[in-house]
């Protein structure tokens, strides 16, 4: 359909719909099928900054990191064919982490389907299992209503990712101007805050008041909901210790007297496991109680008494039989739960021993860590890097970590001094190459923050092209590379479970500092642990993007807090 001169085109309408939802930033990569969309971005007055990435995968990761920091919907886009497939890792990570993200993929014209045009594929079928909302906008007339539906789907509980395919002819078709409007509430999340059933809340309160040694285990849902203050108020009223999964870090400041830190297979230690084992009631909040958090459903045991609260009803009772299940917004439901607990038990009447139990866990955990963090061994121990950054960074710093070498060390030992989202790692699918792009997205979302991306050299190799993106936009992200010339996590698994029979996990050592310098970044390499902290301090003082390449201990030779290796 041709477009009358007085009507917006589909491409123009999409840009206007994004602006109407409060979108300020879009991350993406151009292609033949995006030409009308990019022209609309160029011509219209919309207030949106578009960031051109070097790889669609990292456009999605940038949108993910941006969404986690800003509480806005992260928006990424890519062209048809390969571009649509390259966005997939970031889309599924966001969706499975309940992070609101809108992926837009342009497509060949609807009139070309089935005629073997270049880059044709069934985008809707491709994205169907990965998203909460997924459709192709085959009719320009209905484009505004379908965009509104996508924003609603990604910001209402359960939050997650949405995908819209935008055919070439739809981009050039006509849209009625009066249909272009939006409720800006759906540009942020959660858009609505439904409370869990009042009867379930009352029963949960009764169980918490009756318990003697309850424990809260928080997943990422607390931070996604913004329920940190309500959580802490409830825990303080009952003196209940608060543990978290890796994704749940930020639910409580880890310097708070009630904070136990991370539990589970990745970042938990014997002392934190003991807190779980000694509890007579487990309260999972915004936590899927998956294999990592529970060490394959051993801690807590299957016969533990459990209360479960989550924004996604499908999570409830998936892994544990529960005495009370509550589906609802976490912030709103915790507020209701606190009021009911106060009604049943005045402050001081119930004491779950939280302060003493949390202090004991940290004392045991840090006694071993402190010795390793002072080590002058070469290659440099990861513990020493974590300790140095803790001394150098302020409480408002943001750290993103890839799931290889950095994740267990930062999860277990970096003690976050404030609540809220200051630590970002991709725990849903654990793909390497995430942290650099997530750091750039977080930096865009909070430009005044110090943002540090921690990665192994395996992850560096998968994301190195985005160094140019950081340099081009002057994003002052700071990159710390743990260089050990291997896919360390797999190597550690081969050592612990397969008799040290290492196969195809090692690669040549790269000079990451030299590579970064080639992209225009300030960079240094460190081999001497005595020089480490000074060089990291120099890096943090640089105004633009900067990188420190640390020759570090191989993960399989270290004492990482990963239970299967310790065993």
Better-scored residue on pLDDT, 6 or 490: 490
Inter-CA distances, 155 with 100, 113, 204, Å? 6, 32, 27
Rounded distance between C-alpha atoms, residue 328 and residue 434, angstroms = 30
Task: Provide the mean pLDDT of the chain.
Answer: 96
Q: Which domains does the chain have, with CATH numbers?
A: 10-187 (3.40.50.970), 198-357 (3.40.50.1220), 374-566 (3.40.50.970)
Rounded distance between C-alpha atoms, residue 363 and residue 171, angstroms = 60
Report the run of H or E that residue 125 belongs to, with start and end. helix 123-127
Answer yes or no: are the C-beta atoms of 47 and 210 closer than 8 Å.
no
Specify the pLDDT at position 1.
41
| Phi and psi at residue 282, to the nearest 5° | -110, 130
Answer yes or no: are the C-beta atoms of 105 and 163 closer than 8 Å.
yes
pTM above 0.85, yes or no: yes
Mean pLDDT value of segment 485-511: 94
Q: Please, which pLDDT band fits residue 122 given cuts at 50, 70 and 90?
A: very high
DSSP 414-481: ---SSSSS-EEE-TTT--TT-HHHHHHHHHHHSTTS-EEEEEEHHHHHHHTTHHHHHHHHT---EEEE
Q: Which tens digits make up the pLDDT trace of 209-261?
A: 999 999 999 999 999 999 999 999 999 999 999 999 999 999 999 999 999 99
Specify the pLDDT at position 564.
83
Does the pLDDT value for residue 556 go beyond 90? no
Q: Which tens digits make up the pLDDT trace of 296-344?
A: 999 999 999 999 999 999 999 999 999 999 999 999 999 999 999 999 9
């Amino acid at each position: 359909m041709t477009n009358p001169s007085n009507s917006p085109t589909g491409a123009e309408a999409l840009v206007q719909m994004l602006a109407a939802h409060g979108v300020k930033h879009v991350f993406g990569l151009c292609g033949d099928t995006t030409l009308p969309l990019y022209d609309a971005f160029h011509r219209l007055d919309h207030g949106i900054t578009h960031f051109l990435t070097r790889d669609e995968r990292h456009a999605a990761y940038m949108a993910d990191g941006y969404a986690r920091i800003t509480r806005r919907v992260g928006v990424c886009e890519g062209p048809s064919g390969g571009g649509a497939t390259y966005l997939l890792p970031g889309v599924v990570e966001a969706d499975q982490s309940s992070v609101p993200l809108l992926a837009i993929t342009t497509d060949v014209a609807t009139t070309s389907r089935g005629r073997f045009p270049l880059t044709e594929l069934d985008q809707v079928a491709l994205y169907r299992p990965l998203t909460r909302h997924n459709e192709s906008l085959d009719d320009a007339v209905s484009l505004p209503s379908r965009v509104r539906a996508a924003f609603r789907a990604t910001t209402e509980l359960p939050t997650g990712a949405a995908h819209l395919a935008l055919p070439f002819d739809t981009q050039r078709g006509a849209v009625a101007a009066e249909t272009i409007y939006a409720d800006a509430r759906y540009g942020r999340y959660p858009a609505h805050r439904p409370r869990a059933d009042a009867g379930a809340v009352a029963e949960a309160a009764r169980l918490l008041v009756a318990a003697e040694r309850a424990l809260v285990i928080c997943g990422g849902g607390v931070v996604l909901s913004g329920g940190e203050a309500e959580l802490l108020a409830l825990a303080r009223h009952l003196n209940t210790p608060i543990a978290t999964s890796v994704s749940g870090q930020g639910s409580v400041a880890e310097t708070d007297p009630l904070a136990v830190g991370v539990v589970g297979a990745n970042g938990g230690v014997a002392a934190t496991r003991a807190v779980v084992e000694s509890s007579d009631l487990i309260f999972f909040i915004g936590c899927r109680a998956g294999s990592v958090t529970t060490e394959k459903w051993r801690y807590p045991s299957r016969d533990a008494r459990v209360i479960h609260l989550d924004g996604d009803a499908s999570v409830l009772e998936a892994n544990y039989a529960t005495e009370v299940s509550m589906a609802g917004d976490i912030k709103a439901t915790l507020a209701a739960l606190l009021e009911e607990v106060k009604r049943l038990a005045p402050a001081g009447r119930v004491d779950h021993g939280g302060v003493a139990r949390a202090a004991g866990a940290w004392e045991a955990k840090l006694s071993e860590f402190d010795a390793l963090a002072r080590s002058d061994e070469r290659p440099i121990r990861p513990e020493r890097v974590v300790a140095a950054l803790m001394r150098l960074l302020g409480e408002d710093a943001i750290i993103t970590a890839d799931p290889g070498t950095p994740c267990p060390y930062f999860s277990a030992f970096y003690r976050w001094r404030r609540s809220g989202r200051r630590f970002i790692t991709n725990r849903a699918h654990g793909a390497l190459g995430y942290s650099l792009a997530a750091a750039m997205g977080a930096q865009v979302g909070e430009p005044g923050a110090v943002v540090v991306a921690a990665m192994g050299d395996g992850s560096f190799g998968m994301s190195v092209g985005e160094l140019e993106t950081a340099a081009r936009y002057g994003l002052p992200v700071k990159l710390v590379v743990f260089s050990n010339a291997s896919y360390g996590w797999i190597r550690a698994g081969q050592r612990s479970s397969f008799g040290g029979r290492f196969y195809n996990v090692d690669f040549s050592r790269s000079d990451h500092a030299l590579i970064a310098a080639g992209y225009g970044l300030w960079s240094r390499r460190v081999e001497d642990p005595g020089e480490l902290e000074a060089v990291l301090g120099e890096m943090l003082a640089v105004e633009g993007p900067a990188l420190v390449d640390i020759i570090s201990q191989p993960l399989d030779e270290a004492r990482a807090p990963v239970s299967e290796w310790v065993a």
